[in-house]
């Protein structure tokens, strides 16, 4: 096949790293609206000289979302290709992990692969296409959203709206260490369990005390028993609160629960089980309320997703790169897009490890490699679109 851009110049590579460092050095935890907007401002500046129309959308309590469209994308409402990435990180404003640095072949910093490196890949690929004269002819929509790390509460409606105008989507979350690109992801549901009892003095409490903490403890054991690793089902009670002191019978207890599952059927089973456990009273005099705090549909590795991967593998082979298909345990905005019936390919960003920790790093050579891969993939993808969409659920 014909390669549009066989390599990146050293100057272009250095520009990518300079931009990455600037973005990583901006503190942009999800709740830091001002910081996320500073990232957005830097992105707008980096793309200001390219023929892109920019729309800034209010993110409410979160940072604003940015949508860029090429000239070809503004001229039509169909066959669009969506490229998606988030500007926020998991690190709060008071984090000690704040700056970008290089150690050998590793670039270390908060969000360097999750996912400011992916943002740089997107911007670098678009710039390369502009310089080759192709960008105006490709119907690309670029979304930089502000709240993915907290479940995309303000950007999910935007993701769904954009999905309805696109033939496929690409997400530049980090790639796997062996060149993995994501064709599927598990689904996720978060729950909050509130337990109510009757307050009292511990000195006068007997076996019949209606302790919310005791009821909560019993339920946690039963909820954790829903774990079924052999079926790809994961449940974790990650946060617990209750009571006001050791000498009181707890009137209230609360638990936050995370669940992951490989398909819709498993997710439905798990929801039924957790609902049943919540509704079953173990300690007389207590009652429970179960609510859903967040949810991401399963991104199943569909035939359309695999067709996207096959096209990418053609490009990678022409560039002497290796890519592998992966079904990843974690979730991303790709889940939401897939839930709209859109063919999606994720994990197109640079390669690294230990995201969500102060050991997060990127393999230096992967930034330019993934930029080159995306720049060459997009013209082929535009020529092959539309791909068959999955039935909407």
Which residue ranges make up each domain of the chain?
10-185+298-384, 187-296
Are 371 and 7 in contact, with CB atoms under 8 Å apart? Answer: no
Q: Residues with Cβ < 8 Å from 362, sequence gap 6 or more?
A: 106, 107, 108, 112, 113, 117, 174, 350, 351, 352
How far is the C-alpha of 375 from the C-alpha of 297, rounded, in Å?
29
Tell me, yes or no, if the two domains 10-185+298-384 and 187-296 fold the same way: no
CATH topology of domain 187-296: Alpha-Beta Plaits (3.30.70)
Are 172 and 282 in contact by the 8 Å Cβ rule? The answer is: no
Residues 345, 241: Cα–Cα separation, whole Å: 39
Question: Which residues of the chain fall short of a pLDDT of 70?
Answer: 1, 386-393
Look-up: residue for tokens 């992966």? 326
Buried b (16+ CB within 10 A) or exposed e, 152-178: bbbbbebbeebbeebbbbbbbbbbbee
Using CA atoms, how far apart are residues 261 and 159, in angstroms rounded to an integer?
A: 22
Phi, psi at residue 153, to the nearest 5°? -60, -35
pLDDT digits (tens, 9 = 90+) for 245-286: 999 999 999 999 999 999 999 999 999 999 999 999 999 999
**What is the per-residue pLDDT for 208?**
85
Q: What pLDDT score was predicted for residue 391?
A: 43
Q: Which tens digits make up the pLDDT trace of 120-160?
A: 999 999 999 999 999 999 999 999 999 999 999 999 999 99
User: Measured at the alpha carbon of residue 31, what is the angle toward residues 81 and 191, in degrees to the nearest 5?
Assistant: 80
Task: Spell out the alpha helix ranges (H) of the chain.
Answer: 10-24, 33-47, 71-74, 117-131, 156-163, 212-224, 264-279, 303-318, 333-339, 364-384
Q: Which fold has domain 10-185+298-384?
A: Aminopeptidase (3.40.630)
């Amino acid at each position: 096949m014909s390669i549009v851009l066989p390599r990146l110049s050293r100057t272009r590579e250095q520009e990518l790293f300079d931009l990455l460092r600037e973005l990583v050095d901006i503190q942009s935890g999800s709740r830091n609206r001002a910081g996320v907007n500073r990232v957005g401002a830097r992105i707008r500046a980096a793309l200001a000289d390219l023929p892109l129309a920019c729309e800034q959308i209010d993110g409410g309590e979160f940072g604003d979302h940015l949508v860029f469209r090429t000239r070809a994308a503004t001229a039509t409402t169909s066959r669009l290709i969506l490229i998606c990435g988030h500007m926020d990180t998991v690190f709060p404003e008071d984090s000690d992990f704040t700056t970008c640095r290089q150690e050998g072949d590793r670039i270390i910093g908060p969000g360097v692969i999750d996912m400011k490196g992916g943002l740089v890949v997107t911007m670098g690929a678009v710039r390369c296409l502009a310089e080759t004269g192709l960008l105006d002819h490709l119907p690309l929509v670029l979304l930089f959203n502000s709240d993915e790390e907290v479940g995309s509460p303000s950007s999910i409606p935007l993701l769904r709206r954009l999905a309805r105008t696109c033939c496929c989507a690409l997400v530049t979350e980090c790639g796997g260490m062996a060149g993995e690109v994501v064709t599927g992801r598990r689904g996720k549901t978060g729950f909050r369990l509130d337990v109510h009892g009757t307050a009292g003095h511990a000195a006068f409490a007997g076996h019949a005390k209606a302790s919310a903490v005791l009821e909560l403890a019993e339920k946690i054991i039963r909820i954790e028993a829903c774990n079924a690793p052999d079926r790809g089902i994961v449940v974790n009670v990650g946060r617990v609160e209750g009571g006001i002191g050791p000498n009181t019978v707890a009137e209230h207890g609360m638990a936050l629960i995370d669940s992951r599952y490989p398909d819709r059927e498993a997710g439905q089973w798990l929801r039924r089980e957790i609902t049943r456990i919540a509704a079953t009273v173990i300690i007389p005099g207590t009652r429970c309320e179960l609510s859903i705090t967040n949810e991401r549909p399963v991104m199943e590795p569909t035939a359309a997703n695999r067709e996207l991967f096959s096209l990418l593998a053609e490009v990678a082979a022409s560039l002497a790169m290796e890519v592998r298909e992966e079904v990843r345990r974690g979730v991303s905005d790709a889940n939401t897009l897939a839930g709209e019936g859109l063919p999606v390919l994720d994990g197109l960003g640079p390669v690294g490890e230990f995201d969500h920790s102060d050991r997060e790093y990127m393999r230096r050579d992967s930034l330019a490699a993934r930029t080159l891969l995306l720049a060459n993939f997009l013209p082929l993808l535009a020529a092959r679109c539309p791909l068959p969409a999955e039935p909407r659920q």
